[in-house]
Structure 1
């Protein structure tokens, strides 16, 4: 089989045709591409730490941390550095190779709190872990400061299509999100950007979002596929569950479009059975988020625990992938 080349010139109609391929054939095609670029026996297991929780001024309709909605989340101050380091060390001992630190901010500000986050990045990186941050919008100079601190990746999800975006969020634009990604790309920090399934979007919206991601050059090194966790008190609390087949289709399509990227089965995984997760891995997902407290980010976002995930990986014959470093990251060469 010839190696599937990396493309950045995808047409929306091509992506729609891939997404709508008969399911078993789609899984087979995605699994074949996956094996050309990745070790199919390895899964990266990640830990997400909420370093600053709640009181976010944004109006993201799905989010428990928005100050505009009455949810079970109680605002908390920025965690102490030692607390974060202890969580990261415990995660490393459980086989975690990537720690993502999330703060419920609209944007990064040049203040003492950002200075504290930079220190966290330095010291968690020194533990030998990949460090990702998701802190909201940031400028090019702030991205450079994160790079200098040793940051491996910056997460800034598109969430959905440009066309549907204003239905879900009004306090920032789609262009704002793409601009932040551009600012990260001005550094050697890798990009983590994906979306959420189950916001009420159409298949066309999913195709449009994947088109935006797949025509970025280079592709995001990390593409999280999130499943909506319906949070009481948010506008989307009564959304129906996303069928597993839709999740598998999105993962498989992302894998074919962005073959060298890590495709992460992220939020919402807690409601999937081991068999359903195995289908996602077959379709090209090669990363999950795991937890020691049953929550991914806040008490409203459940996440499988370390022991349950280790049991599942053992059952499926999968191993935890070690961390990478920025200097050893292979560029996305176009393969003809």
Structure 2
């Protein structure tokens, strides 16, 4: 689309992924950006935020009716539910509602980008084939990521627009009030450990401390997402997107502890969702005493997700070579990523 003004519709614009994608698009200079979310947000010269209930088909039609200039849809919305089966209906419905609303009015629609993850490979169910590859067969349903992609594949047939699917590992970056924010989990857990005069203990399952893992930096993912949506070679393709290095918590955890000025004690399996449930009064006191920005305990808590990630006592990584073969060659050092995010959280006054 060289020479054509590009208009991005970022769906889920206030999450870790969406927020970083909006910032990246805004910085490129040749994009107009419209962000959709339940909370909306402050608009700027190049970014307009729209508050919408994605589960309400009529609200989607009404709010998106005037967005006929959209050329690219970047779908990164997510609704959490207690079980894997319960995730399917709302997460598929939101994508369907967005496409149903935007496709009839956006006559210049060129691409729909879908954010997925390693659940496509069954990574959330237990030990799976590693490295996972985009050509691996589906696993037993339910799985909303797979259903979303099938919907796009079927909807795209015979159309001028194309789709792509991005499959990151755990995405790390700045975001508040997000149910899946591992960097925030570690930062707040470490800060509270320090406040209580405790060493930093790895809270995961036995074996998780030594499993082989990878992460995906939110900035790297944003750049890869725009690349896949604008490079013709990537039309109707799925790509694993990861930092490009592997690590074990047993190696990285002591370095994180040193960053926070903490000693490391032997791992102790515990549910963060349980042991951190009573820490809100302490957080309020820390916020007052350290002069923090004043974010609520709920905004900085993603304990269930931390328990989920720290339960992986099996290898968790995918082959990222397909993206490199198609032309995306960026990488991020995972240790530097974590420390950089912690620096950012301190600059913002989120943690002491």
TM-score higher than 0.5 here? Answer: no
Q: Which has the larger radius of gyration?
A: 2
User: Greater relative contact order (Cα 8 A, min sep 6): structure 1 or 2?
Assistant: 1
TM-score between both structures, scaled by the size of structure 1: 0.36
TM-score between both structures, scaled by the size of structure 2: 0.34
